[in-house]
Amino acid sequence: MNKALLEVEHLKKSFGGVTAVDACSFTVDEGTITALIGPNGSGKTTAFNMITGYLKADSGTIRFHGETVERPRPAGLYRRGLSRTFQQARIFPELTVQENLVVAAGYTWRQLFGRRVSAEDAQRSKAMLAEFRLDQLSDLVAADLSYGQRKLLEFAAVLMSNPRLVLLDEPTAGVNPVMIDAMERHIRERNRAGVTFLIVEHDMQLVMRLCDPVIVLDQGSRIAFGSPEQIQSDPRVLEAYLGA
Ligand code: ADP
């Protein structure tokens, strides 16, 4: 029996007259790669932003690892094991690839440039670079990476905090097919190593082969939840996507 790692209950957010997320509830069980899908404007990004503390919810509760998160703040959640990526990778463009990973392990820039990084963390960042096949690029400034490489670097950086739950916001949007394969492989490997994922992704083929279960939002509410097979044959989902 899986254990709920993230529980979202009656989460709500309006912008002026627009209800972006409307009393939305769902759970993410430990050990899963869960997808959060839905048509454009269905509230996925707003839900992500509330869960990760980038946006304040109007109402509702978020529980992580059995504890209610009273005032979600990105840094606090990061320390508790909940990390995220962004549609446009957020990395430090002026730092090298390796320095990005060291900073993500919790070092300040002062410690980084004062060479006060522990041998263990230096080694961990090297191992992560090798795992992500970024080792050839480790001394390049991140600004010089391709779009897809930046997304990989952001993912690797997020993993430096040893998260239990990672929210990935469109991890393969705009990246080439080789990079999509690499991203998929890394997600699977890390999931096997114990990391739980919640993924917003528009590539339905990828969602259907990688994720289980799938949560479907429409107009801010959850309209379906189940295995990829169940979702694909759910008339409410077809209606939401196709307006049928
Ligand atoms: P999705 O990620 O599923 O495309 P969003 O969460 O971005 O959906 O948007 C849900 C709804 O909320 C949309 O109608 C969108 O226009 C609206 N919305 C999102 N963010 C804002 C904002 N900052 N100000 C006003 N409306 C917003």
Q: Which of these CATH numbers, 3.30.450.40, 3.40.50.150, 3.30.499.10, 3.40.50.300, describes 1-81+164-173+183-244?
A: 3.40.50.300
Q: Please, what is the angle between helix 97-104 and helix 119-131, to 10°?
A: 120
> Is the pLDDT confidence value at 113 over 90?
no
Q: 43 alpha carbon to ligand 1 midpoint, in Å?
A: 6
Query: Average pLDDT, stretch 21-27?
Result: 96
Question: How remote is the C-alpha of 112 from its chain's centroid?
Answer: 26
Q: What is the per-residue pLDDT for 131?
A: 92
> Is the pLDDT confidence value at 117 over 80?
no
The one-letter code for the residue type at 115 is: R
Q: How confident is the model at residue 214 (pLDDT cuts 50, 70, 90)?
A: very high
> Is the pLDDT confidence value at 177 over 80?
yes
Query: Closest residue (by CA) to atom 18 of ligand 1?
Result: 20
CA distance 207 to 17: 32
CA distance 42 to 162: 31
Asked whether the beta carbons of 216 and 194 are under 8 A apart, the reply is no
Q: What is the per-residue pLDDT for 219?
A: 94
Q: How confident is the model at residue 242 (pLDDT cuts 50, 70, 90)?
A: confident
Rounded to two decimals, the pTM is 0.93
Asked whether the beta carbons of 35 and 211 are under 8 A apart, the reply is yes
First to last CA, the chain: 36
42 lines ligand 1 (CB under 6 A): yes
Q: What is the per-residue pLDDT for 114?
A: 67
* ipTM of the complex in this document: 0.97
Start and end residues for every CATH 3.40.50.300 domain found in the chain: 1-81+164-173+183-244
Give the neighbor-by-neighbor strand order of the sheet with 59-64.
18-29, 4-15, 59-64, 67-68
